[in-house]
Amino acid sequence: MNPIDVIKKAQVNKTVIPAFNIPYLAMVKPVIEAICDEECAAMVQVARLEWKKFESKSLEAVAEEYFKYYDPEHTMLHLDHVPAVDEDLQKVDVLPIIERALRAGYQSVMVDGSRLPLKDNISITRAVSDLAHSAGVAVEAELGAVAGHEKDGIGMSYEELFRTRKGFTKPEEAKTFAEQSGCDWLSVAAGSIHGSIAEGIREKKKPEARLDIEHIAKLRNATNNMPLVLHGGTGISQSYILDAMKNGIAKINIGTDIRQPYEAAMKEYGDTELAREQVYLKTRWVIRDFLKISENKKLVD
């Protein structure tokens, strides 16, 4: 499958492509099995922080595991967050990581310049787009601040974050970004938050998040219908997710929802196969019951 075509079809059909994060290598197999058994199109993805702060080892290790089990009619391999400035506020040399992903067989990549000024975010995204597109690989970028990965989580109550619209993507900036960055789809901030990765609070339930659907629609219009991406998909009420799909969101990242069952099973039983079973069941639930996309077979035909 070509990710650019699949994401665009999802947007047109007002459905969504789920992208499942892999913080532990053992999760790759059950995630792929669940996707295939639900007969839908979905992504398997890994972010830099997941090989730095969890146990996915490297982007190459995830790719190697992925290609053992993948189904080209249903699955795609995506490189999630490669930040220009990471969650510890350290600068990251982005392009060498993207080059590694291209060699490893990733079909799409994400550069995250959201902690940079707009001009610099556009510049690094343009550089990644030029590099990836020369290899026929799609590019995702981020504009606005989806909080949660920082050491102190979101740094305020969720209600305060939503009330102040702190970090929300600005439509006028989104228009400029879409015109100049060269990316294929755009991760936006409109109320969602990432699951915490900080030690000691990883197991906590995420705050129940909301989405500003009107704001998402404004971003879709500002970007001339560029497919939009929702990060931090776990913990948002289903009604908001379904409405977001009708208003431009074409890809949604799922991490905490499948990570925590794996970690809980490993902590209690120390049994990898049992933990894998929990991931498999939760992934199927997300696709079938929460996102209601098990019948998007037309996207993979």
Residue 204, pLDDT score: 61
Q: Which of 77, 18, 80 is nearest to 47 (CA)?
A: 80
Residue 300, pLDDT score: 44
The mean pLDDT value for 90-111 works out to: 98
Any catalytic annotation for residue 93? no
Q: How far apart are CA 87 and CA 70, in angstroms?
A: 30
Residue 17, pLDDT score: 96
Residue 150, pLDDT score: 46
Q: What average pLDDT is seen over the chain?
A: 90
| Catalytically annotated residue among 80, 112, 184, 257 | 80
301 band by pLDDT with thresholds 50, 70 and 90: very low
Q: What is the DSSP string of the chain?
A: --HHHHHHHHHHTT--EEEEE-SBGGGHHHHHHHHHHTT--EEEEE-HHHHHSSB---HHHHHHHHHHH--TTTEEEEEEEEESB-TTS-B--HHHHHHHHHHHT-SEEEEE-TTS-HHHHHHHHHHHHHHHHHTT-EEEEEES----SSTTTTSS-HHHHHHHTTTPPPHHHHHHHHHHS--SEEEE-SS--PPP-STTTTTSPPPPB---HHHHHHHHHHTTS--EEE---TTB-HHHHHHHHHTTEEEEEE-HHHHHHHHHHHHHH--HHHHHHHHHHHHHHIIIIIS--TT-GGGT-
Position 81 pLDDT exceeds 60: yes
Domain boundaries, the chain: 3-299
Tens digits of residue pLDDT in 10-40: 999 999 999 999 999 999 999 999 999 999 9
192 band by pLDDT with thresholds 50, 70 and 90: confident
Position 139 pLDDT exceeds 50: yes
Task: Write down the architecture of domain 3-299 according to CATH.
Answer: Alpha-Beta Barrel (3.20)
Position 253 pLDDT exceeds 80: yes
Position 152 pLDDT exceeds 60: no
Position 295 pLDDT exceeds 60: no
pTM over 0.85: yes
- Output b/e per residue, 20-47; b: 16+ Cβ within 10 A: bbbbbbbbbbbbbbbbbebebbbbbbbb
Report the share of the chain in percent with pLDDT over 70. Answer: 86
Position 156 pLDDT exceeds 70: no
Position 249 pLDDT exceeds 60: yes
Position 153 pLDDT exceeds 90: no
